A and B are shown apart, each in its own frame.
Chain A
Amino acid sequence: MRTLSTIAGLAALALTVTACGGGATTLAEPSAGSGAPTAANTIVIGTANFTENVTLGHVYAGLLKSKGYEVTVKPNLGSREVIFPALQSGDIDMLPEYQGSLLLHLDKAGKAADGDAQAAELKAKLPAGLKLLPYAPAQDKTIWMVTRATADKHGLKSLDDLKKVTGQLVYGGPPEDKTRRIGLVGLKEVYGTEFKTFRALDAGGPLTKAALRKGDIDLANIFSSDAEISANDWVGLEDPQRLQPDENVAPLVREQKADAKLTAAMAELNAKLTTEELIKMNHKTDVEKEDPEDVANAWLKAVGLVS
């Protein structure tokens, strides 16, 4: 999830560079570790500063409340760089993570591409005191997308096909794409494609989507769980060489909280949490502008996890 870092960066920029406030979701400093031991049935859930993660935090919270936990949610804490220390110091106990990005965060050379391999590698690489619970089928990964018109015009189905139009397309993605493997570097290395130009926009956010919709860019980096994909009939290009690793949602928990009861509760959730369900929730929050907490609770009821 590159949004973790990019959105925090943009929020910081909005404040520092342009001095123009509006930063409700800025990098909240984790308060100095209080270190106070918390009772076994209390859980503090933190989330990153983008809607999907906030919603997932509330999904965790709603489910755990129904199991008798006393839950506090601290939404919009910031990027992984901010949340990780908070988790280690015990300011929060749990957060919804994405396996692929988490692995790359802990080990830049992390190569595991599918969920099981990632979980195994993460188990070895997580700092002491933290535990990753089994992952859900739901994924939020970047997909390279073109409009239906572009796909038809050039006969594009997979990233391999980009060779046919090398040097012709305009590619728009977040600024880090310029230097990232899951970006320009990898597209060139693995799929041997070049672009007419690269436009540095945002990480699958409003700018990128508007530019793709208007045809200002031909190829864009969009998140698989984005509700606007189907609304616009955009076509995701297949990734046969697995340039983009899997990004399954998984709860990252402080080890002392990760008892059998919690693990069992999260396993129940995993049975229901698919990418399609994630898209549904994102549609409610992003398109219909509903409150993430309401959406989370309504979803828990709808799938029968909470009565």
Chain B
Amino acid sequence: MGLLQQILGWFTQAGHWSGPEGLPVRLLEHLEYSLLSTVAAALIGLPIGLYIGHTGRGAFLAINLSGFGRALPTVGLVTLVFLVSGLSIWPVYVALVVLAVPAIVTNAYAGMAGVEPELRDAARGMGMTGWQRLWQVEVPVALPLILTGVRLAAVQVVATATIAAYVSFGGLGRYLFDGLAQRDLPQVLAGAIAVAVLAVVTDLCLAALQRTLLPRGLRLRRAAAT
């Protein structure tokens, strides 16, 4: 009970809601790191996923490289890039993008691979070009999985962007690193709660976005299937 009250006390303290170290600023910083990393990862990962899904080439390499990216310890990667680049925000972005790309690539690829061969054949038979087949048939059908990949990546990035604080930058991770170092448990837990809430909210928002972006035809097909 004591700890719960301490955490509550932390959140209700006015000083924690204003100034350069207050929650709103830390939250914005956290969102900035997360958003930029996810967008960059999507710009890298989507073309790769769509390309190997469309052509069927390079799947083995891409999927294995993705697995490798997933297995890399993020803190280790941040440290490594830091030692090369020095004190800058780049190590954080590099690590977060490396973390986010695999989910985006593998899901885009899986979505494309799941497009029924009959559909592809029909599109080809109608005389559609490669680009037309990609954008008008394959991508719309694969869209649910493609978006799931982006959503997974975004949630992972939000939960991991705390490492920005490891190399002296801001974001919600500041509370975790400072709190741990200063043996200030309420601060650590408040930060952890804030990150967890943000990750869940991100997931819910993207899930809603995913529903609205779903093509009408797919929605009808899903409704018919159930």
Contacts and interface: CB of A to CB of B under 8 A. Distances in A.
Given A5-B181, A9-B180, A175-B181, A18 B165 contact: no
A13 interface: yes
A272 to B, nearest CB: 34
B162 interface: yes
A17 B73 contact: no
A65 interface: no
B178 A214 contact: no
B83 interface: yes
Given A174-B181, A207-B82, A18 B163 contact: yes
A210 interface: yes
A207 B79 contact: yes
Contact of A14 (B73, B82, B167, B182): B73
A18 B162 contact: yes
Contacts of A14: 73, 75
Contacts of A10: 75, 166, 180
A211 B165 contact: no
A193 B122 CA distance: 76
A121 interface: no
Given A10-B75, A200-B178, 9 more contacts: A17-B159, A17-B162, A18-B162, A18-B163, A175-B177, A176-B178, A207-B168, A210-B83, A216-B86
A256 interface: no
A17 B174 CA distance: 12
Given A14-B75, A18-B74, A20-B75, A9 B181 contact: yes
Interface in B64-101: 72-76, 79, 82-83, 86-88
Interface string B144-168: 0000000000000001101101111
A207 B83 CA distance: 7
A19 B3 CA distance: 24
Contacts of A175: 165, 177-178, 180-182
B221 interface: no
Interface string B171-198: 0011011101111000000001001000
Contacts of A179: 182
Interface in A7-65: 9-10, 12-14, 17-22
Contacts of A17: 159-160, 162-163, 173, 176, 192, 195
Contacts of B165: 175, 200
B87 A216 contact: yes
A176 B82 contact: no
B183 A5 contact: yes
A74 interface: no
A14 B87 CA distance: 20
A199 interface: yes
Nearest to A201: B168
A217 B86 CA distance: 10
A199 B168 contact: yes
17 contacts: A12-B180, A13-B180, A17-B159, A17-B192, A18-B160, A20-B74, A20-B76, A22-B73, A22-B76, A172-B87, A175-B178, A175-B180, A201-B168, A206-B79, A206-B83, A210-B87, A214-B87
A88 interface: no
Given A22-B76, A210-B86, A201 B167 contact: yes
A178 interface: yes
